[in-house]
C-alpha cells in the first residue's frame, strides 16, 4: 500500500513537470503578448515591463526560474492585475469553486446512487425505464443549456432563487443543480449497470438462499461491489465538474477560479493561466490518488502492484 502511494506520488513529479513545460512553451510560442494593448506603448516602457517580468532574459533562464518558482507555488504577479499575486487570486477564488464542486458531487452521489439501485432492483419495470429515460435526458442536456433554462423557470418566472451571484444559501441552489445534473444522471446509469452485474453473481444467490431479506441482500452485500464503478468514476467526474464550473461560474457570476481562468485566457494573463492550470492539474492528480486508495479499500480483490 505504502509503495503504491509512493509510486503514484513519484509519478506526480514528471506529470506536473510535463504540464508545466507544455504550458510554459505554449504560452511563449503564441503570437501576441500580454502587453499588446490597443494603443501602442512607448518602446522604453515596453522594455521596462519586459524587464520587470524577466521577459528580456533568454528563454532557458526564464524557464528555469519559472520551474524553480512553480515548485514553491509562486507564479509571480498577474500580468493583467500587477498588484495581485497569482497565488493570492487562487487562494481567494478556489474555496468558492471547491464549495460549488463538492456540493455538486455530493448531490450527484446522494441522488444518483439510490436511483441506480432502485432501477437495477426493479430491472425492466416502468420505474426502471422512467429512471433510465430521465438519466439519458440528464446526460444529454448540457449545463450551458440547463443553467439558463433553470434561471428562466425557477428564478425569473417563479422567483424561487436568485438568478446569479454567490451570496447566501439560496444563491447556491441553481449553480449546484446546474453543475450536478449530468453527474446525477451518469452516476445513476453506472450504479444500475454495476448493480445488475453484481446481482447476478453467486454470492448474491447464496445470500438469498440462506434466507436473507431482499433489502439486506441489496443494501449489505450487493451495493458494496455495485458502487465500485461509481467510485472509479469519481476521478473523471471531478475533472468534469471543474470543467463545468467554468460554464456555471460564468452563467451565475460566481466568483470562483473557473471565471478567473476564462478571463485570464482572454486577457492573455500568462502567469495567471499557467498558475491555475498547474494548480488544477496538481489538485486533480491528488484527488485521483485518493479515489484509487478508496477503491482498493472497498474492493479487497484488488492487489496493489
Partner 1 sequence: MSVAALGRVAVAPAAEHGASLWSDAWRRLGRNRAAVTAGVFLAVMAALTVAAPWLPGLADPTLQDLRLGAVPPSPQHWFGTDELGRDLLSRVVYGGRISMLVGLVGTLVSLVIGVTWGAVAGYAGGRVDDFMMRVVDILYALPYIFLVILLLVLFSKTLIMLFVALGLVQWLTMARIVRGQVLSLKTQTFVEAARALGAPDAAIVFRHIVPNTLGPVIVYTTLTVPAVILQEAFLSFLGLGVQPPAASWGTLVSNGSQVIALFPWLVIFPGIALSLTLLCFNFLGDGLRDALDPQDRRDVA
Q: Which residues contact partner 1 by CB under 8 A?
A: 11, 15, 18-19, 22-23, 26-27, 29-31, 136-137, 139-142, 144-145, 147-149, 151-152, 156, 196, 235-236, 239, 242-243, 246-247, 250-251, 261-262, 265-266, 268, 273, 276-277, 280-281, 284-285, 288
Cα separations (Å) of 158 from 151, 251, 269?
Answer: 10, 18, 40
Q: Which is nearer to partner 1, 284 or 293 (CB)?
A: 284
Nearest approach in angstroms of CB 211 to partner 1 is: 27
Q: How far is the CB of 123 from partner 1 (least distance, A)?
A: 9
Q: Considering the complex, state which of residue 81 and residue 144 has its C-beta at the smaller distance from partner 1.
A: 144
Smallest separation (angstroms) from partner 1 to the CB of 52: 22
Write down the residue that cell numbers 496538481 correspond to: 282
Task: Name the β-bridge partners of 85.
Answer: 77
Q: Least distance from C-beta 216 to partner 1, angstroms?
A: 25
The residue (of 13 and 47) whose beta carbon lies closer to partner 1 is 13
Least distance from partner 1 to the Cβ atom of residue 93, Å: 15
User: Cell for 262?
Assistant: 476564462
Residue 151 Cβ vs partner 1, minimum distance, rounded to whole Å: 6
Are 249 and 263 in contact by the 8 Å Cβ rule? The answer is no
Q: Which residue is it, cell 478571463? A: 263
Question: In 3-state terms, what secondary structure has residue 176?
Answer: helix
Q: Which is nearer to partner 1, 173 or 239 (CB)?
A: 239
Strand partners, 77: 85
Residue 162 C-beta: closest distance to partner 1, Å: 13
Question: What phi and psi values does residue 47 have, to the nearest 5 degrees?
Answer: -65, -40
* Residue 256, CA distances (Å) to 25, 99, 105, 247, 288 in order: 26, 9, 17, 11, 22
If the CB atoms of residues 154 and 212 are measured against partner 1, the closer one turns out to be: 154
- Nine-digit cell string for 218: 441489496
**Per-residue exposure over 95-112, b if at least 16 CB sit within 10 Å of its own CB, e if not:** ebbebbbebbbebbbebb
Q: How far is residue 38 CA from its own chain's centroid?
A: 35
Alpha-carbon radius of gyration of the chain:
24
In order of 156, 178, 248, 249, 304, the CA distances from 144 in angstroms are: 17, 8, 7, 11, 40
Compare residues 47 and 133 and give the one whose CB is closer to partner 1.
Answer: 133
Our CB check for partner 1 shows the closer of 100 and 251 to be 251
Amino acid at each position: 500500500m505504502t509503495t503504491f502511494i509512493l509510486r503514484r506520488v513519484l509519478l506526480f513529479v514528471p506529470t506536473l513537470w510535463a504540464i508545466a513545460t507544455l504550458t510554459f512553451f505554449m504560452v511563449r510560442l503564441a503570437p501576441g503578448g500580454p502587453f499588446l494593448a490597443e494603443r501602442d506603448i512607448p518602446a522604453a516602457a515596453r522594455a521596462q515591463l519586459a524587464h520587470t517580468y524577466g521577459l528580456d532574459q533568454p528563454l532557458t533562464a526564464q524557464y528555469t526560474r519559472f520551474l524553480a518558482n512553480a515548485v514553491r507555488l509562486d507564479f509571480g504577479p498577474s500580468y493583467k492585475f500587477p498588484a495581485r499575486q497569482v497565488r493570492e487570486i487562487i487562494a481567494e477564488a478556489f474555496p468558492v469553486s471547491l464549495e460549488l464542486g463538492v456540493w455538486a458531487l455530493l448531490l450527484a452521489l446522494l441522488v444518483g446512487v439510490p436511483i441506480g439501485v432502485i432501477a437495477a432492483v426493479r430491472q425492466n419495470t416502468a420505474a426502471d425505464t422512467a429512471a433510465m429515460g430521465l438519466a439519458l435526458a440528464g446526460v444529454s442536456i448540457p449545463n450551458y443549456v440547463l443553467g439558463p433554462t433553470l434561471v428562466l423557470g425557477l428564478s425569473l418566472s417563479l422567483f424561487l432563487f436568485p438568478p446569479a451571484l454567490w451570496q447566501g444559501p439560496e444563491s447556491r441552489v441553481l449553480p449546484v443543480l446546474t453543475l450536478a445534473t449530468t453527474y446525477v444522471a451518469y452516476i445513476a446509469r453506472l450504479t444500475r449497470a454495476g448493480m445488475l452485474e453484481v446481482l447476478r453473481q453467486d454470492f448474491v444467490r447464496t445470500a438469498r438462499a440462506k434466507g436473507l431479506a431482499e433489502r439486506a441482500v441489496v443494501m449489505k452485500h450487493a451495493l458494496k461491489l455495485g458502487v465500485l464503478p461509481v467510485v472509479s468514476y469519481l476521478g473523471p467526474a471531478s475533472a468534469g465538474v471543474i470543467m463545468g464550473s467554468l460554464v456555471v461560474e460564468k452563467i451565475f457570476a460566481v466568483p470562483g477560479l473557473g471565471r478567473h481562468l476564462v478571463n485570464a485566457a482572454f486577457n492573455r494573463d500568462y502567469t495567471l493561466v499557467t498558475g491555475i492550470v498547474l494548480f488544477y492539474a496538481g489538485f486533480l492528480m491528488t484527488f485521483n490518488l485518493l479515489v484509487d486508495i478508496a477503491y482498493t479499500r472497498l474492493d479487497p480483490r484488488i492487489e496493489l502492484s
